[in-house]
Chains A and B, each alone.
Chain A
């Protein structure tokens, strides 16, 4: 277990540019932009619009949720490239023989990459997302204190909102990672075999499989197949009626209600099947890595 944790840690060290330093730079830029937006009047600090007149604290909910959405998109992008590149990094770095001189199996090495991809790597982005929220709230609250639209008593509400949104982002990330785990594993497995060519292959693979199904089994067109419908189904997280209702209401955002809604709408059988699929493809990739001595 100690060795496995060390291998996961190695992934963080190797990819800290994408998962730690890059996001921190983004936070610095966002913080600067937020400061400017409030100080030069791009954001109406008096919140005089109708919505904010009725519910001035909604800026905290919407702002942080928007940040959370942005960070989620960033994470999806870097995790895709991590899987498509990180699984082949040992070969690309000429370090394959070094890691093969260690008493760890190829399966353990590849599994550590996948586990890093669903734990510490998104974990750092989550931590940075929380930091960006604190900075956003800090600027907004300070501005409101200065213009008199907030008081010390408002702080309790803001902290509460922060907790609700932080929970929302966390649950979305965890569910998203579980939902997309088989896709990550598949991209990683392809990368183990073909290196960075996994990027175009992973993008083209659904179309190719769908076209093959259309050619062999028929259908209206290549994108009217069982394969394509399955890809579309697995390509997005389930809808959450709670969010749609909340957007139309004036109620405060409840992270717990959202979490229960999302968890309740997840297809857990698909999640379980996907996890098994992920382990199987990682095992097959590790056997390839073990047998192909092209270091």
Chain B
């Protein structure tokens, strides 16, 4: 279920391009030949179950792991040219990875010398209004403060691609909202591309321009959000006869919530469904549940 027509017609060089991307851990294949292009200036949500292969895909993009097939980020092989690539790529991983032994000012001073595209002044300005002070040791910061600091660091890097792997894991709702608002208001421009993975898909839905659903190492959805709105329809229907009639149009998913039956349709004209009940566009989490059904909860585990 891939709609890459917009990309294919676009002459702009993709930021990320993968062909036949495969990864094995031991004898178990985690990625089963992914093909995708990510154009510049987009905000991508990479969504999947635990163990679906999201982090492995991101690691392949970031040059942290070698894979079969081809992957190019900004035209470079990330595994072979990771150091060079990181001048234009920033990322936050799913683990608290800031060096805990440093003070905030020491971190900024070091990055100022290590990263050619890091701006110490920008990083300081991003921390204004927070409780984080330059003399504080990172190991003494709370989890939320570390996330704020890490976000300030990556936003102070003038990168073309920002990759966020579960950046708000373990943070409360206030921090999470502030995190994403800051990212949108202070960082995103037309030249920058953002790829986010998170399980809290509803919280990032408003900012996404594209989604990719990965299920068991395979890309099952890759499309723009506008296409999602056009393509998928959610129908809430109560009357059993209407339910039966609606089923004739082949819903991709159906469930009963609080006595109401909810169906999700793929590519069925809204005018056709209108007589059966209340129509809406499914939320990303509804769509996720609808499309990511598997025979078992977690048949294989990736990274």
> Which A residues are closer than 8 A to B by beta carbons?
2-3, 5-7, 9-10, 13-14, 90, 93-105, 108, 290-291, 293, 295
Given A10-B110, A95-B97, answer yes or no on A293-B83 (Cβ-Cβ < 8 Å). Answer: no
| CB atoms of A13 and B101 under 8 A apart | yes
Please, could you name 16 A-B residue pairs with CB atoms under 8 Å apart, sorted by A?
A6-B110, A10-B102, A14-B99, A94-B96, A95-B100, A97-B93, A98-B93, A101-B89, A102-B114, A103-B83, A103-B84, A103-B85, A103-B115, A103-B116, A291-B66, A293-B59
| CB atoms of B114 and A96 under 8 A apart | no
0 or 1 for each of B87-121: is its CB under 8 Å from A? (1 = yes): 10111110111111110001000110111100000
Question: Which residue of B has the minimal Cβ distance to A17?
Answer: B101
> Which B residues are closer than 8 A to A by beta carbons?
59, 62, 64-66, 82-87, 89-93, 95-102, 106, 110-111, 113-116
Given A100-B82, A105-B82, answer yes or no on A295-B93 (Cβ-Cβ < 8 Å). Answer: yes
**Cross-interface CB contact of A93 among B83, B89, B100, cutoff 8 Å:** B100
**Cβ of A99: which chain B residues have Cβ within 8 Å of it?**
99
**Cβ of A97: which chain B residues have Cβ within 8 Å of it?**
64, 91, 93, 95, 97
| CB atoms of A100 and B64 under 8 A apart | yes
CA distance A239 to B116 in the complex (A): 48
**Cβ of B98: which chain A residues have Cβ within 8 Å of it?**
95, 98
CA distance A3 to B42 in the complex (A): 31
CA distance A293 to B56 in the complex (A): 10
Instruction: Give 7 A-B pairs besides A90-B99, A100-B62, A102-B111 with Cβ atoms closer than 8 angstroms.
Output: A2-B114, A5-B113, A93-B101, A97-B97, A98-B93, A102-B114, A103-B84
- Shortest CB-to-CB span from B105 to chain A, Å, is 11
Question: Which residue of B has the minimal Cβ distance to A10?
Answer: B110
| CB atoms of B100 and A293 under 8 A apart | no
| CB atoms of B87 and A103 under 8 A apart | yes
**Cβ of B114: which chain A residues have Cβ within 8 Å of it?**
2-3, 6-7, 102-104
CA distance A93 to B95 in the complex (A): 11
| CB atoms of B90 and A3 under 8 A apart | no
- Shortest CB-to-CB span from B118 to chain A, Å, is 9
| CB atoms of A95 and B99 under 8 A apart | yes
- Shortest CB-to-CB span from A95 to chain B, Å, is 4
**Cross-interface CB contact of B102 among A3, A5, A13, cutoff 8 Å:** A13
Question: Which residue of B has the minimal Cβ distance to A15?
Answer: B101
CA distance A108 to B110 in the complex (A): 15
| CB atoms of A98 and B110 under 8 A apart | no
- Shortest CB-to-CB span from B101 to chain A, Å, is 5
Given A6-B110, A13-B102, A93-B99, answer yes or no on A102-B93 (Cβ-Cβ < 8 Å). Answer: no
**Cross-interface CB contact of B106 among A13, A290, A291, cutoff 8 Å:** A13
**Cβ of A6: which chain B residues have Cβ within 8 Å of it?**
110, 113-114
- Shortest CB-to-CB span from A64 to chain B, Å, is 34
- Shortest CB-to-CB span from B71 to chain A, Å, is 15
Question: Which residue of A has the minimal Cβ distance to B303?
Answer: A293
| CB atoms of B83 and A108 under 8 A apart | yes
- Shortest CB-to-CB span from A142 to chain B, Å, is 39
**Cβ of A295: which chain B residues have Cβ within 8 Å of it?**
64, 93, 95, 97
**Cross-interface CB contact of A102 among B86, B102, B106, cutoff 8 Å:** B86
Minimum-distance CB pairs A-B, first 6: A6-B113, A98-B97, A97-B93, A103-B86, A105-B83, A95-B99
**Cβ of A104: which chain B residues have Cβ within 8 Å of it?**
83, 86, 114
- Shortest CB-to-CB span from B57 to chain A, Å, is 13
Question: Which residue of B has the minimal Cβ distance to A100?
Answer: B64
CA distance A99 to B100 in the complex (A): 12
| CB atoms of B113 and A2 under 8 A apart | yes
- Shortest CB-to-CB span from A239 to chain B, Å, is 41
| CB atoms of A102 and B101 under 8 A apart | no
Question: Which residue of B has the minimal Cβ distance to A6?
Answer: B113
**Cβ of B115: which chain A residues have Cβ within 8 Å of it?**
3, 102-103
| CB atoms of B113 and A3 under 8 A apart | yes
CA distance A93 to B85 in the complex (A): 24
CA distance A237 to B100 in the complex (A): 38
CA distance A98 to B165 in the complex (A): 12
**Cβ of B100: which chain A residues have Cβ within 8 Å of it?**
93-95
CA distance A177 to B113 in the complex (A): 27
Best-buried of A6, A9, A103 by chain B (most CB within 10 Å): A103
Question: Which residue of B has the minimal Cβ distance to A291?
Answer: B66
CA distance A13 to B96 in the complex (A): 20
| CB atoms of B95 and A94 under 8 A apart | yes
CA distance A68 to B256 in the complex (A): 81
**Cβ of B106: which chain A residues have Cβ within 8 Å of it?**
13
CA distance A9 to B106 in the complex (A): 10
**Cβ of A93: which chain B residues have Cβ within 8 Å of it?**
99-101
**Cross-interface CB contact of A14 among B65, B97, B101, B116, cutoff 8 Å:** B101
CA distance A9 to B114 in the complex (A): 11
**Cβ of A95: which chain B residues have Cβ within 8 Å of it?**
97-100
**Cβ of B116: which chain A residues have Cβ within 8 Å of it?**
103
**Cβ of A291: which chain B residues have Cβ within 8 Å of it?**
66
- Shortest CB-to-CB span from B200 to chain A, Å, is 21
| CB atoms of A101 and B113 under 8 A apart | no
CA distance A5 to B101 in the complex (A): 18
**Cβ of B97: which chain A residues have Cβ within 8 Å of it?**
94-98, 101, 295
- Shortest CB-to-CB span from B116 to chain A, Å, is 7
CA distance A295 to B102 in the complex (A): 19
